[in-house]
């Protein structure tokens, strides 16, 4: 090696960020900080509004793809829904509902537990029964987004 050649670069040296972040922070002016702060505050304030569906008002029970019953979520009630495998039991308490029992083999809809927010749903696929919580406005979910 000759004395004038530069030392070999370490691997990844070109992709390394600058070591002194104070240099980058020094480039931001007070107006930039204000804009960043207001943007972050707006995102934090509006995020819950984008995902709420209002107040839960009723539980919609479907059997075989047809609406079997619409239950008010303000009163205690138990409903048996017939299906091809047997009866699915729906329990309603003020503000929430759940599938209490189902003849299906894996019990996924029973394990869903209490549903309380609009848009939540428990599907008992083997018995062709579903329970959905509805409100005045529907919430965004993975299907409607």
Condensed to tens digits (0 to 9), the pLDDT of residues 115-134 reads: 998 889 999 999 999 999 98
Task: Say whether pLDDT at 8 is over 70.
Answer: no
**C-alpha distance across the termini of the chain, in Å:** 62
Please report the pLDDT score of residue 144 as a whole number.
Answer: 55
Q: Kindly state whether residues 125 and 66 are assigned to the same domain.
A: yes
Query: What average pLDDT does the structure give for the chain?
Result: 84
Residues 68 and 62: beta-carbon distance below 8 Å? yes
Q: Kindly state whether residues 41 and 99 are assigned to the same domain.
A: no
Q: Kindly state whether residues 45 and 74 are assigned to the same domain.
A: no
In a domain, 96, yes or no: yes
pLDDT one-digit tens code per residue, 23-60: 777 788 889 999 999 999 999 988 877 666 678 889 99
In a domain, 25, yes or no: yes
In a domain, 12, yes or no: no
pLDDT one-digit tens code per residue, 95-118: 999 999 999 999 999 999 999 988
Q: Kindly state whether residues 79 and 37 are assigned to the same domain.
A: no
Domain with 80 in it: 56-135
User: Tell me, what DSSP letter sits at residue 15?
Assistant: G
Per the model's pLDDT, the better-predicted residue between 135 and 129 turns out to be: 129
In a domain, 125, yes or no: yes
- What gap in Å lies between CA 49 and CA 42, rounded to an integer? 11
Please report the pLDDT score of residue 26 as a whole number.
Answer: 79
Tell me which of 5, 35, 51 is where a domain ends. 51
Please report the pLDDT score of residue 56 as a whole number.
Answer: 85
Sign of CA dihedral 84, 121, 90, 74: negative
- The pTM of the full predicted model, rounded to 2 decimals, is 0.62
Q: Kindly state whether residues 39 and 69 are assigned to the same domain.
A: no
């Amino acid at each position: 090696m000759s004395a004038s050649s530069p030392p070999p670069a370490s691997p990844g040296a070109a992709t390394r960020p600058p070591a002194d972040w104070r240099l980058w922070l020094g480039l931001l002016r007070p107006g930039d900080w204000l804009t960043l702060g207001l943007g972050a505050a707006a995102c934090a304030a509006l995020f819950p509004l984008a995902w709420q569906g209002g107040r839960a008002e009723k539980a919609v029970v479907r059997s075989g793809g047809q609406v079997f019953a619409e239950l008010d979520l303000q009163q205690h009630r138990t409903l048996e829904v017939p299906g091809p495998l047997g009866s699915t039991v729906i329990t309603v308490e003020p503000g929430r509902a759940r599938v209490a029992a189902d003849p299906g083999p894996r019990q996924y809809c029973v394990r869903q537990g209490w549903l309380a927010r609009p848009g939540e749903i428990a599907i008992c696929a083997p018995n062709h029964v579903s329970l959905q919580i509805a409100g005045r406005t529907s919430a965004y979910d993975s299907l409607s987004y």
